[in-house]
Amino acid sequence: MRPGPKNQITDVPGLRVGNAEDASLRSGVTVLTADRPFVAAVHVMGGSPGTRETDLLAPDRMVQDVDALFLAGGSAFGLDAGQGVMQGLRDAGRGFAVGPVRVPIVPGAIVFDLLNGGDKDWTQSPYPALGRRAFDTAAPDFALGTAGAGFGAMTGTLKGGLGSASCVLPSGLTVGALVVVNALGQATVGETPHFWAAPWEEEAEFGGLGPAPIAPQDAPLPRKRLGEATTIAIVATDATLTKAQAQRMAVAAHDGMARALVPSHTPLDGDLVFSVATGAKPLQDPLTDSFQLGHAAATCLARAIARAVWLARSEPGDLQPSWQSRFGRG
């Protein structure tokens, strides 16, 4: 497998990503959309998730396609971002047809960033406007690190952020990942600059330091309080998948989260993965292709998590150091 040209989820043809953030709020929204509806599914493994419209993504539900997905800060307040995305889609004439009416289907998930030093004393929720702005600016190229829903993200020790990565399989299928890293656990090994995801790194995309020389043996202790953490992600492919097949890809992708964040999937996290299939390329070998799609989704997600932390930049008022500032790389 090799990375796609951008090494981002938008290497999957037709996908676009938009970011919107508020520096004083220290929060933001990230939206993934496309020119036409796509198959989507979800798998939740964290103990404290915050979601919108995820029940309808189950394989036995009537709606087969969605118009956009969003990732947001703001805890439960951030779910309001979906309203802004819905309005943008409605203005574009998009949505699930119910007679003469179209209802945009916009599932999403949130991370907790309410205690990161930002000004949260608003009188009106800022998230609908952030959602609309993220939708309106969606494009093939987008910022990573301290951007969008990852603007105010933190991990157990370092600033988190927004990450993405991609790969192209021997079959020609493309897989990409997009992630907001706001984890209870760590993306780096102990007090070292080495990333847990190092064995899967491609082309020094997060520093090329290689694996840590030794892994800590002590049992980890939580460095955040109940509900303050969550890593939320989207994995995508241009393959033609059913909702059930897409859900299996989301399940497999969680392996990448476990590889890159230690610990992950805790009772204090709301860890979840959405999966997206645009349907541009039929599976040529359903068994082998499905097997490789799951592996690629996990690998891309692990790499995207490390990139999120590696690309995060320092901002005035940070409560945690960025990887770059702590380890003297900028």
Question: For the chain, what percentages of helix, strand and coil (3-state, to nearest 5) are there?
Answer: 25, 25, 45
Which H or E run contains 126? none
Quickly tell me which residue has 């929204």 as its tokens.
29
* Residue in this structure with the two tokens 């939580």, named with its chain if needed: 222
Are the C-beta atoms of 273 and 231 separated by less than 8 Å? no
Q: Which residue has the higher pLDDT, 117 or 312?
A: 312
pLDDT at 220: 60
144 pLDDT band, cuts 50/70/90, is very high
Distance from C-alpha of 26 to C-alpha of 6, rounded to nearest angstrom: 27
Task: Please state, rounded to an integer, the average pLDDT across all residues of the chain.
Answer: 92
Q: What was the pLDDT predicted at 157? A: 87
For 126, the token pair is 């800022």
Q: Is the pLDDT of residue 314 over 70?
A: yes
Q: Is the dihedral of CA 204, 207, 213, 214 positive or negative?
A: negative
Lowest mean pLDDT among 8-17, 30-39, 62-71, 215-224: 215-224
- pLDDT tens digits along 263-280: 888 777 789 999 999 999
pTM to 2 decimals? 0.94
Q: State residue 221's pLDDT score.
A: 57
Is the pLDDT at 292 greater than 80? The verdict is yes
* SS3 of residue 212 by DSSP: coil
pLDDT: which is higher, 217 or 323: 323
Average pLDDT over residues 225-249: 88
pLDDT above 50: residue 226: no
Residue ranges of domains in the chain, CATH in brackets: 9-326 (3.60.70.12)
Tell me the helices (H) and strands (E) count for the chain, helix number first. Answer: 5, 11
The fraction of the chain above a pLDDT of 70, given in percent, is 95
What tokens does 245 get? 């097949």
Fill in the amino acid letter for 311: L
Of 160, 165, 136, nearest in space to 147 by CA: 160
Phi, psi of 177 (to 5 degrees): -135, 145
pLDDT mean over 291-298: 96
> What's residue 230's pLDDT?
87
For residue 218, name the pLDDT band (cuts at 50, 70, 90): low
Measured at the CA of 304, the angle between CA 298 and CA 306, to 5 degrees, comes to: 110
Percent of the chain with pLDDT over 90: 77
Query: How much is the pLDDT for 227?
Result: 44
pLDDT average, residue stretch 121-147: 96
Closest CA to 111 of 30, 206, 38, 219: 30
Alpha-carbon distance of 295 to 173, in angstroms, equals: 13
Q: pLDDT grade, residue 214 (50/70/90)?
A: confident
Any residues with CB less than 8 A from the CB of 245 and at least 6 apart, and which? 277, 290
Lowest-confidence range among 76-85, 213-222, 313-322?
213-222
pLDDT digit string, tens, across residues 15-63: 999 999 999 999 999 999 998 999 999 999 988 889 999 999 999 998 8
